Amino acid sequence: MLEARTILVVGATAGIGAATYRLCSQRGANVIGIGRRKDLGEALVRECGGRFLNGDVTDEHWLAEAFASLAAGNVRLDGAVNKAAMTQDAIPITELPVALFDQVFTLNVRATFLCLQHEMAAMRGGGGAVVNVASIAGKRGYAGLSAYVASKHAVIGLTRSAALDGARSGIRVNAVLPGTTRTEMFEQQMQTRPGGEAGTVAGIPLDRASDPAEQAAMIAALLSPQASFVTGETLTVDGGATSS
């Protein structure tokens, strides 16, 4: 369903991004990955083909140069996935350092905004599809995670507004809201989450964390022509965790 489409995956070196890179490649897309860890990005290209741009998306100058290099090579994007993000340790809002709040917003919100600007510009003239990876933390609160939760609510706001801005150009913008997924981020969250892994999984009706491939499958579905009339939407992929 993604044959000959050029799809950018921002945050491709690990977790849901690496799974998305693999799946899009298996479905025939020309995939371009972005991430800071060059060794992991190059390994992904050796495994799946495609291309890796090594950089930090919070660096707006690097980002502008990366997109300029794609434009110079006549690369037109058909799809983009924004999933570079960070979580935070569980810290009550009264004790949360402002610097940590700023760090979370710089990556999770500001860089997503910058990527959307560049990606939608790189789709003009032919339409396209963007999937932002938000979180179930974008639709409810979690004690101790105020910066992360607020950032994911903001990503959903960006998604809805970008969908309206892109509609006339044939650009669809949606968000996937993962629940607990076995990635590096999951390992980090479990270190300070009250109740740890057992407590987290106990709240999931399907009684397990998801595999990154299960998130990638829904991201690929929203990128595909099967989702041609879906825009400004959020798709929750959480094993039922937020249904009750």
Number of residues lying near ligand NAP (CB under 6 A): 28
Instruction: Please pick, from the candidates 2, 25, 32, 83, the single residue that binds ligand NAP as defined by CB under 6 A.
Output: 83
Element (H, E) at 44: helix 38-48
Instruction: Report the residue from 23, 44, 107, 158 that binds ligand NAP according to the rule CB under 6 A.
Output: 107
Position 66 contacts ligand NAP (CB under 6 A): no
| 80 touches ligand NAP by CB under 6 A | no
- Smallest CA-to-CA distance from 18 within 204, 212, 152 is with 212
Catalytic choice (148, 181, 209, 216): 148
For 90, the token pair is 């569980």
**Is 128 in a helix, a strand, or coil?**
strand
The helix, strand and coil proportions of the chain, stated in percent and rounded to the nearest 5, come to 50, 15, 35
Position 57 contacts ligand NAP (CB under 6 A):
yes
φ, ψ dihedrals at 29, nearest 5°: -80, 155
How far apart, in whole angstroms, are the C-alpha atoms of residue 182 and residue 222? 21
Q: Is there a catalytic annotation at residue 21?
A: no
Contact track, ligand NAP, 19-48, x by CB under 6 A: ---------------xxxx--x--------
Which tokens is 123 given? 């789709």
Minimum CB–partner distance for residue 8 and ligand NAP (Å): 12
Binding site for ligand NAP (CB under 6 A): 11-17, 34-37, 40, 56-58, 83-85, 107, 133, 135, 178, 180-181, 183-186
